[in-house]
Structure 1
């Protein structure tokens, strides 16, 4: 006998919670390494180091508080809840739910440069009202543009950054010597993925169709996007609360880690590419003119 849809959803939700713990562990290690590299980085000015460290600490605190709240939420949902898990998961106005929502929204604001701030405030206000549940028109009206702006911002940013790095990658085909080696090492596919925050964008693009058709397969992908807790409620709108959490913090942390390590793409790489390409072009023109002159002499 095939398992019931509710059982499939519960199993997928449990698998998602485990994946979320793994992704938080990855983020914790990256955040620790990033803080150490920033503190030990001597080439950056004190102001830049302080700004990077403050940014990393704020992200870490928000992510950790969300994770703690998510762990407690999972314990109640899967073990302690006296009601159906779907009913419990739909309660938005509890103090635990508000803690998770505030930390989640704050991290998205920081990672997205406060672009979806207005809709985020509206979403928090609506979910904080007594008796608020998923599926309400007001919650959906604020939640949909909030998450859509976040995904759109990251996809556009990824496309622009990756496009710039790919242009540098094409440029190095005309370079020689040390600059070619350095640029080649800093424009690999992995580097482009890291520095353009493609991790978040790719996960979001994969998740959205699964979320739209409301299949339980979406739950593990939701965990990869950032769901410490993924609810088993049948209302598909419920799943969007936990979208995009860990990669939302992992992506900027990876970029900061490369910056603190002194290996991130910056303005000097563009200068090297343009300078050397111009020099190579000039040398190529000179060689071509010399060859034409020699050919005419031989004739």
Structure 2
């Protein structure tokens, strides 16, 4: 004897995927919360050493607060779907479609849009930072234009609920347009940041040595600085959403937290002194090479300020570094 509800197999699959996605999203929220605590602790503890530490603390706090609202709305919506009104005609799928304009659904979509806006804004800022001293700095305008376009779409009716068996063409087209713009922004900005770090690699390795330049030029640095996790997750989602695949219900809650985790990983590097800043970029593009006398203590201090992770050398390492025939003669900040 079966106790399964009298619903179609397609509706049951959508409900299962939504149920699984909710749990995975809450797990990702736990990761987000842990990273937030670590970042907040480091920013407060190192506030005199980290540029704009209080701004970054306010940024991650607001991001975490919005993510908490998003999770709380998801929990409340699940309570309404599976407990309070579980006997709604047509099941949870029909119930969520009927609640499309409910305040919980609206707040859920709004918080998602705010998280996307904040994460995309940081990515555009980092892209501009990386290219600010380049003759091709105009390329940083491309992600900014995509950012304006995607932001212009976000105040429109909120994203269609993913838990739907059938979507109207208008809702589907709007969702595809919004997520396509956001995904294109993520991918383009990530590629531009990776390209710029790769261009800096030889300069930094020559100036600091391969070992001390590694925090700024390694594959992990490129992956984290470019928010690649955010770009990859966005691509996966837009593929499932465009085809109206049930897997989108699993991706959406996780993507909501990845949207917040990617900026936190960048800010964590800022707190540790391993992220690119305007000072780092300015220094790395103004290196003079030649057979010069040993660098002055002022030059060493400038290097340490621009590249904190590379500045932790022993006295012996510094002595050897400045005795080589080709050395850095001056860092201009």
Name the structure with the higher helix share.
1
> What is the Cα deviation at residue 13 of structure 1?
2.2
- What secondary structure is seen at the aligned counterpart in 1 of 2:50? coil
Q: Does 1:184 align with 2:214?
A: yes
Q: Does 1:263 align with 2:271?
A: no
TM-score for both structures, normalised by structure 2: 0.66
Contact 2:215 2:274 in 1 (8 A): no
Counterpart-to-counterpart distance in 1, 2:13 and 2:168: 26
* Number of aligned residues: 251
Corresponding residue number in structure 2 for 1:246: 257
Counterpart-to-counterpart distance in 1, 2:102 and 2:14: 24
TM-score for both structures, normalised by structure 1: 0.73
| Greater mean deviation of Cα atoms: 145-154 or 108-117 | 108-117
Ranges in structure 1 where 5+ consecutive residues have no aligned partner:
128-133, 226-244, 281-285, 288-299
Counterpart-to-counterpart distance in 2, 1:51 and 1:271: 21
Corresponding residue number in structure 2 for 1:208: 238
Corresponding residue number in structure 1 for 2:229: 199
Per-residue CA deviation, residues 249-271 of structure 1 (Å, 9 max, x unaligned), is 11111111111221112345546
Give the structure, 1 or 2, with the largest relative contact order (CA under 8 Å, sep 6 or more): 1
Corresponding residue number in structure 2 for 1:12: 17
Q: Does 1:29 align with 2:34?
A: yes
> What is the Cα deviation at residue 183 of structure 1?
1.3
Corresponding residue number in structure 2 for 1:94: 102
> What is the Cα deviation at residue 58 of structure 1?
1.3
Per-residue CA deviation, residues 130-151 of structure 1 (Å, 9 max, x unaligned), is xxxx834554454333222221
Corresponding residue number in structure 1 for 2:53: 49
> What is the Cα deviation at residue 73 of structure 1?
1.0
Per-residue CA deviation, residues 59-100 of structure 1 (Å, 9 max, x unaligned), is 111110111011111222233333211112222211111111
Ranges in structure 2 where 5+ consecutive residues have no aligned partner:
1-7, 122-146, 161-165, 292-324, 327-333
Contact 1:119 1:146 in 2 (8 A): yes
Corresponding residue number in structure 2 for 1:292: none
Corresponding residue number in structure 2 for 1:123: 157
Contact 2:15 2:92 in 1 (8 A): no
